[in-house]
Amino acid sequence: MDEKRIEDRQLAFLVDGDNASATLIEEMLAEASKYGSVIIRRVYGNWTGGGQVNNWKAKLKEFALTPYQQFPNISNRHVTKNATDIALIIDAMDILHDGIVKGFVIVSSDSDYTSLAIKIREHGLFVIGIGKKDTHDSFRRACDVFVSTENLGKEQDESDEGEKEKDRSRGQRKQRPVRDALELLNRAFDSAVNDDGRALNGDIGAALRRLDPGFDTRTYGKPSLLNLIEELDDVFEVERLDRGAIYVQRKGEKKEPERERTAEAAPECTCTRPPEEALPLLHQAYDAAEKGPDGWVDTFKLFKGARKIDQSFDSTLYGKEKISHLLEALPSHFVLNRKGKSMLVRPAVKAEEEIEAVPEVIRSVEEPAPPEQPAPVAPVNEPELRPMEVVRLVTKAFEATVKSDGRAFLPQMSKELKRIAPELDFKSLGKSGLREFLEEYADLFTLHKEGRNVYVSKRKGRRPARPISELVR
């Protein structure tokens, strides 16, 4: 699952030595390194006593781990563990406020660390949990990613070959059937699907992590998400493009083959139609659609209405991938605006002088004409920028201020935007400033808060869209 991996992310690796086993330390560090560079490695426990923490002593030097001693406050073996938990949490908060890492790896199966994981995420940092499969859901779901130790390796004794064979058989029985993942995969696919009925493999993976941070394809005996989806070939189809992108769609829902067969029968129809040819259908669909305040209509509802009128309607026939792209190609007829994750559209309004023309007053010959008054000079307002034009200007400001780490400092980006577009006013778009505008376009930009500083990075991959699977039944 590589949608969460950031190579330059610095991580703190904190281990509850009284709760976690040292058997899989190599696999744990390897798993953590998929998400960043581990720069802090600490193991907490009472090293003077016996118990679970003793297993870590032989691993300290080999894996550059730093032991942190926590003596019990009273001579009660049950209190020692609580003292270790508190020591780990206090150190984690110190590291958090020092601002030297961008994520934490908490190795424990104890749900007492739930509040710690929540607090770290509230500060915008990444949290990985590593623990047993039966760890309580409260801790698992408080993490961005939770990895079960059962998926990393076996903790059994490997003293003889007979025991290893038993362990191997026992491990195989623990693997869940692939069909058990189907319900969650369907929900993730619906969250990531585009207008064309397809979804990027990486977008599905990101949706799975949001739905269940503990989801791991190794639980179902598969090394990757793609292998898991390919196993369900009666439900999903996988399409690999030449440029390396991998798309997934539900089986039997793709419409492109029908268009290809139509093209073979009628070669003269293979040409791309001009967007203006779609105007009558789009206007008819708009008139029939349910409208919001000021006449705005969701582009998904507009597409749905157009399909009801003409089932063969598809934006690709006009050389556009999505209906929003088709509408954007008709700026004199439609205006687009984004609200949250939805794209809204309404017809372009003509100038008020043209709509509300004042009729000429006919006066009698006897009635003297009033003295001519100088016509008031109407203020010349610059044309209001459309949201998609603002996105292009913001992208240009980002590219001018981005650093080598792929991020731009928000104040510098705002200053550059004022330089290249001094006429831009976010209040005309209903936003207080650049930051609020970027929050509305979370599919294009990501905000990173580090203390009082805010940085911006650009999201990679295709823009997520609303599902339309029910339209192609």
Tell me if 331 sits within 8 A of 389, measured CB to CB. no
What is the rounded radius of gyration, in angstroms, for the C-alpha atoms of the chain?
Answer: 30
The tokens describing 446, both together, are 């990501």
The per-residue pLDDT for 92 is 94
337: phi then psi, degrees, rounded to nearest 5: -150, 140
What are the residue ranges spanned by the domains of the chain? 2-174, 179-250, 271-354, 387-458
pTM for the predicted model, two decimal places = 0.44
Tell me if 307 sits within 8 A of 284, measured CB to CB. no
The per-residue pLDDT for 354 is 38
CATH T-level assignment (fold) for domain 387-458: Nucleotidyltransferase; domain 5 (3.30.420)
Q: What is the pLDDT along the chain (473 residues), one digit of tens a residue?
A: 444 444 568 999 999 988 888 888 988 888 888 888 899 999 998 887 767 778 888 888 888 899 988 777 666 554 556 788 888 999 999 999 999 999 999 999 988 899 999 999 999 899 999 998 889 989 988 998 898 888 886 544 443 444 444 444 444 446 778 788 888 888 888 878 887 788 888 888 877 777 777 777 887 888 888 888 888 888 888 888 755 678 888 887 654 444 444 344 444 444 678 888 888 888 888 888 888 777 888 888 888 888 888 888 888 888 887 888 888 888 888 888 877 667 888 888 643 433 344 444 444 444 454 555 555 554 444 445 677 788 888 888 888 888 878 888 888 888 888 888 888 888 877 788 888 888 888 778 888 888 778 888 987 655 455 454 443 43
CATH T-level assignment (fold) for domain 179-250: Nucleotidyltransferase; domain 5 (3.30.420)
Q: Give the Cα separation of 135 and 148 in Å (integer).
A: 9
CATH of domain 2-174: 3.40.50.1010
Name beta bridge partners: 458: 445
Helix/strand/coil (H, E, C) string of the chain? CHHHCCCCCEEEEEEECCCCCCCCHHHHHHHHHCCCEEEEEEEEECCCCCCHHHHHHHHCCCCCCEEEECCCCCCCHHHHHHHHHHHHHHHHHHHHHHCCCCEEEEECCCHHHHHHHHHHHHCCCEEEEEECCCCCHHHHHHCCEEEEHHHCCCCCCCCCHHHHHHHHHHHHHHCCCHHHHHHHHHHHHHHHCCCCCEEEHHHHHHHHHHHCCCCCHHHHCCCCHHHHHHHCCCCEEEEECCCCCEEEEECCCCCHHHHHHHHHHCHHHCCCCCHHHHHHHHHHHHHHCCCCHHHCEEHHHHHHHHHHHCCCCCHHHHCCCCHHHHHHCCCCCEEEEEECCEEEEEECCCCHHHHCCCCCCCCCCCCCCCCCCCCCCCCCCCCCCCHHHHHHHHHHHHHHHCCCCCEEEHHHHHHHHHHHCCCCCHHHHCCCCHHHHHHHCCCCEEEEEECCEEEEEECCCCCCCCCCHHHHC
Place of tokens 């004022």: 418
Nearby residues of 404 by Cβ (< 8 Å), 6 or more positions away: none
Domains 2-174 and 271-354 share a fold: no
Q: Give the Cα separation of 209 and 128 in Å (integer).
A: 11
CATH of domain 271-354: 3.30.420.610
The tokens describing 365, both together, are 């010959």
Q: Minimal CA–CA distance to 426: which of 379, 463, 393, 380?
A: 393
